[in-house]
Amino acid sequence: MTSKPAVILNVNDDVASRYVTSRVLGLAGFRVMEAGSGHEALVLTDEHTDLVILDVRLPDISGLEVCRRLKTAPRTHNVLVLHLSAQAVGPGDRAQGLEHGADGYLVAPVDPEELVAQVHALLRLRKAEREVRALSQEVEHQRRLLELAISSAADPIVLYDGAGRVLFANAALYAARGSHAVHGTGLTPREMLAKDPALTPYVQYVEAALRTGQVQRGSITLSSDQGPRHFDFVVSPAVGPDGRVLAVMTSSRDVTEHRSAEEFREQFIGMLGHDLRNPLNALSMSAQQLQRRGGLDERQSNLTGRILTSAERMDRMIRQLLDFARARLGGGIPVMRAPGDLFDVVRRSVEELRASHPGRLVHLEMLGDGRGDWDADRLEQALGNLLANALKYSPTDSLVSVHAEGGPKGAVLRVHNLGVPIPPEELPHVFSVWRRGRKSRPEDGSAGGLGLGLYIASQIIRGHGGDVDVTSSAASGTTFTVRLPR
């Protein structure tokens, strides 16, 4: 599909000159209209006219005045004007023509090739201007849409420039903090901090994003007209091709209600675990006294043994609940270090496992030196949880391997089992609370736990300054690896 030829209005009171110019332009492929006066030019020019070739000396109105009117009228202000004059040929005439709004000025007679080339150049300029105008309008439209979206967002959002000054803060931020809001346009984080010192952690993350160009995440508690509110926030920098941070956006989420519910649940769990201890101890002591007294028939003896087994299982659950409550409410499970040998802890854990599961194969290998400062009881608890998990999720006739190695900088423990692998989508969550594998094999009442064992083990290891991870596949089995610094 070919484009329409450009529409040119040729204005000249000299019929011969007008004919020659129109003939040249027509042969060049333009659609040419003609006018012999200024008034006629003003009538014929409309929004569809691309270019007006305008003589300066017209019999009724000066070409300069015609140009001025065309450029100021809303319907024709985008029309190109090229002055073509055989009389006003001095430098002052050309300057005056351009000052009145003309886009070009030629002195007649003009070479036909130069005329056509000048017209093409002006039309290219007009096309580029239109493209720039359309692009600017689209950019402005997109900017307004973005501003509307941010303004309407339910969560607080703040935009900063590359120097850290506030460009925009949406209504949700002011609604969240009310009269306590300090995010004024043009303020730097430090200036906001001077107004509200509680913003310190938030400001530190914003400055880190400006400095490093990396996304930052954090939490903060701030005052509002509704009282203290808890927020989780993300600081997202926009980095240019040269690596400089051009802008930063922060988005916050009010987690006050969620955190309050979570704290209540954890406090309730801690109180529940503590209060269950007394009746459970009474139940266990009663069953033990019955066994020591003797005289029980086989059925009574089985029932008493079942009571003790269930009580021991409940006691483990209660200990896990209390450890969970300590970890969540007290900033982690407390660790009391003392000089000792980690290998003794590993050996006791494996021997206890072999004694309670006589039919299982457990291989132990220890290399190097296990001496250091450890919380032996807590590490035995963590290793016991890992071993119990390995038994629970592996076939009864398969081998469970435990490898311990001590080096100059620390120790590494590995617990390996063969069984159904952990699905890849579950691997990032195995150390989370309330997580249990979907396929476990009940063994001696070990199934049916709370899903806290691996979480507590990870917290104990973290309390020692170490870390734990897991790999799992059908070919190589599942391996939990613990790294403990000395």
pLDDT in tens, the chain (486 residues): 457 899 999 999 989 999 999 999 999 999 999 999 999 999 999 988 999 999 988 999 988 999 999 999 999 988 999 988 877 667 777 788 788 888 888 888 888 998 999 999 998 888 888 888 888 888 888 877 777 777 777 788 899 999 999 988 888 888 888 888 888 889 988 898 899 998 998 999 999 999 999 999 988 888 888 888 888 899 999 999 998 999 999 999 888 776 655 565 555 555 555 556 567 667 777 778 877 777 778 888 878 877 777 776 666 666 666 666 655 555 567 778 889 999 999 998 898 888 778 889 999 999 999 999 998 888 988 898 899 889 988 999 999 999 999 998 899 999 999 988 999 888 888 887 655 554 444 444 444 455 677 888 888 898 888 999 999 999 999 999 999 998
Within 10 A of 433 (CB to CB), how many other CB atoms are there?
16
Q: What is the CATH number of the domain that holds 394?
A: 3.30.565.10
Instruction: Verify that 385 and 477 share a domain, yes or no.
Output: yes
Does 148 reside within a domain?
no
Based on the domain organization, do 219 and 235 belong to the same domain? yes
Q: Which secondary structure element, helix H or strand E, spans residue 148, and what is its range? A: helix 112-152
* Domain-ending residue, one of 275, 297, 329: 329
The answer to whether residues 304 and 423 belong to one domain is: no
Assign 143 to helix, strand or coil.
helix
Query: What CATH number does residue 11 fall under?
Result: 3.40.50.2300
Domain-located, residue 141: no
Give Cα 338 distance to the centre of its chain: 42
- 230 and 344 belong to one structural domain: no
Are residues 232 and 254 in contact, defined by beta-carbon separation less than 8 angstroms? Answer: no
305 in any annotated domain: yes
Q: Quick one: 243 and 265 in the same domain?
A: no
pTM for this prediction:
0.41
Tell me how far CA of residue 295 lies from CA of 47, 175, 303, 304, in angstroms: 113, 74, 14, 12
DSSP H stretches of helix in 332-375: 342-356
Query: Is residue 208 domain-shared with residue 345, that is, in the same domain?
Result: no
What pLDDT shows up at residue 274?
A: 54
Are residues 85 and 63 both part of a single domain? Answer: yes
Strand order in the sheet with 467-473: 361-368, 399-406, 410-417, 477-485, 467-473
Q: How many CB atoms lie within 10 A of CB 57?
A: 15
* Domain identity same for 287 and 342: no
State residue 445's pLDDT score. 41
| Residue that terminates a domain, selected from 304, 329, 354 | 329
- The alpha carbons of the chain give a radius of gyration, in whole angstroms, of 42
Domain boundary among 133, 163, 195: 133
**CB distance 30 to 53 below 8 Å:** no
Residues 6+ apart with CB under 8 A from 296: 290, 304
Same domain, 177 and 300: no
Q: In this structure, are 99 and 55 located in the same domain?
A: yes
Residue 220 lies in a domain: yes
Within 57-152, strands assigned E span 80-85, 104-107
Residue type present at position 483:
R
Query: How much is the pLDDT for 368?
Result: 94
The DSSP bridge pattern shows strands 361-368 and 338-341 to be unpaired
Residue 443: predicted pLDDT: 45
Instruction: Report the number of distinct structural domains present in the chain.
Output: 4
Examine residue 265 and state whether it is found in any structural domain, yes or no.
yes
Pairing of strands 399-406, 361-368: parallel
Q: What's the CATH code of the domain at 309?
A: 1.10.287.130
* Structural domain that includes position 15: 7-133
CA end-to-end distance (rounded Å), the chain: 78
**For residue 401, what pLDDT is reported?**
95
Same domain, 364 and 471: yes
With respect to residue 143, please indicate whether it lies within any of the assigned structural domains: no
Please indicate, yes or no, whether residues 343 and 307 belong to a single structural domain of this protein.
Answer: no
Which tokens in the block code for residue 378? 């807590």
Given this model, what pLDDT does residue 444 score?
43
178 contacts 227 by C-beta, under 8 angstroms: no
Q: Which two tokens stand for residue 190?
A: 């430090």
Rounded CA-CA distance 258/109 in Å is 84
In a domain, 467, yes or no: yes
pLDDT at position 287: 75
Structure tokens that stand for 220 in this block: 């903060």
**Domain membership flag for residue 145:** no
The answer to whether 415 and 362 have CB atoms below 8 angstroms apart is no
User: Which amino acid is it at 20?
Assistant: V
Which CATH number belongs to the domain containing residue 214 in this structure? 3.30.450.20
> What's the token pair of residue 310?
């269930």
CA angle 62, 67, 69 (to 5 degrees): 95
